[in-house]
Amino acid sequence: MNSINQNQPEDNRHDLRGFEAKDKIRDLIRKSEVCFFCTAGPSSDSNGARPMSVLEVDDAGHLWFLSASDSHKNLEVAANPRVHLYFQGSAHSDFLHLRGHATITRDPAKIHHLWQPLFRTWFTGGENDPRITAIEVAPDEGYYWDTKHGNLVAGIKMIFGAMLGKTLDDSVEGTLRVANAPVHPTITERVPKDRPDNPNPTVDGTRFQGVPYPDDAEGVPDGESAIGREEAEAARRDQEKIGTPAASL
């Protein structure tokens, strides 16, 4: 932590995970639907960075874009799916950085869902243009910089801070962990691989709202990886926080 944060009389660090992280991402993206979409292994003069409009943030917290199949972006994602997204919602707050995995699809149903008539400016063949693809970005972690109470309160605090010689700016920042997060704050249930309701019979998994979550650690008995235990415990704490009774699936 640098000296500016150390001088804050108020706590300005708040790390978010699970559904809280996804809610924060949606809130910040609503304020800035355009991001810098950055890929590895740049093949153009833009060094792998270009502005892109987010067309949807789905229930899983995944971001959706439309892109041309012959674009540098698609070629770079195909070579390395790790991407970085950078957002700025206003001049002084609502900043967001996401890291995640990008997947290219030609699913006509998804393209139809994302399609807007104005897009024919770029996809001149319309919704069925053979060049059109959808890109899904599944974020796993990130970081945000924001204000606690909005820019007006932050501005007033900064004026008083300047008068008093104190670091008062109403800022808040923190990490975002969204990988393997539940769609809703619902208690988890461990699903052994030999149970008939496990949709993937090859691995043990954890279910969040009926969605299987395979363990990352191979060779761990009964699927009890550190990640699985950590996510399950976080979900239980979330349930206690919002006062919703835990219920097994």
pLDDT category at 50 given cuts 50, 70, 90 is very high
On whether the pTM is more than 0.75, the answer is: no
Residues 4-36: tens digit of each pLDDT? 667 666 777 889 999 899 999 999 999 888 999
Let me know if domain 3-177 sits in CATH 2.30.110.10: yes
Cα-trace Rg, the chain: 21
pLDDT > 70 fraction of the chain, expressed in percent and rounded: 61
Q: Please report the beta strands in 159-231, taking only residues with DSSP state E, as ranges in sequence order.
A: 171-177, 189-191, 205-208, 211-214
Extents of the domains making up the chain: 3-177, 189-242
Quote the tokens at residue 132: 């059109």
Nearest alpha carbon to residue 195 among 182, 185, 206? 206
Calculate the average pLDDT of the chain. Answer: 74
Mean pLDDT of 72-84: 95
C-alpha span between 188 and 83 (Å, rounded): 29
Give the contacts of 126 (CB within 8 A, at least 6 positions apart). Answer: 120
The answer to whether 217 and 203 are in contact (CB under 8 A) is no
Residues 79-125: tens digit of each pLDDT? 999 999 999 988 878 899 999 999 999 999 999 999 999 999 999 99
Quote the pLDDT of residue 146. Answer: 84
Quote the pLDDT of residue 1. Answer: 54
